[in-house]
Amino acid sequence: MTRSEPLLVFDGDCGFCQNVINRISALGRPAVDAVPWQALPEETTRPHSERLDREVLLLRDGRVLAGGADALAAYLRRSPRRRCRIAGAAISLPGVIQCAHTVYRWVARNRHRMPGGTLSCRLTSPHP
């Protein structure tokens, strides 16, 4: 699958992940489509299967542009809404992005405990 525009790919089996993406999409209406990785062709997801289970990825033409907190920040920066673009830029600042990475990893490990999360959200592979 080839696309000129990036695509935010997330775990559609995780209720917490779906909820977060729905909220960001409704609030910011980013110019990037967000889709569950389960809805994509296997040839697109296979090379990234380990990462797709534990983090959102920003993909273009089958290549990873960003993952985790970096992908969410990039997603926000593609919003037509100024406050979302500012939030995305702020998350990307040195020092802030390191904190965002730590928080993202903690949330990912505990997403089954978050609002909307279920036991099916639990990560099966260790998070880096």
What Cα–Cα distance (Å) separates residue 76 from each residue in 24, 49, 54, 66, 123?
8, 24, 20, 13, 25
Helix (H) or strand (E) holding 63: strand 63-67
Q: Does residue 89 fall inside a structural domain?
A: yes
For the chain, helix (H) and strand (E) counts, in that order, are 6, 4
Q: Is residue 1 part of a domain?
A: no
Domain count within the chain: 1
Distance CA 90, CA 103 (A): 15
127 falls within a domain: no
For the stretch 62-93, pLDDT in tens is 899 999 999 999 999 999 999 999 999 999 99
**Residue-range definition of the domain harbouring residue 38:** 7-119
How many Å is the Cα radius of gyration of the chain? 14
pLDDT for position 76: 95
Q: Report the pLDDT value the prediction gives residue 80, as an integer from 0 to 100.
A: 94
Q: Is there a domain that residue 126 lies in?
A: no
Residue 57 domain-assigned (yes or no): yes
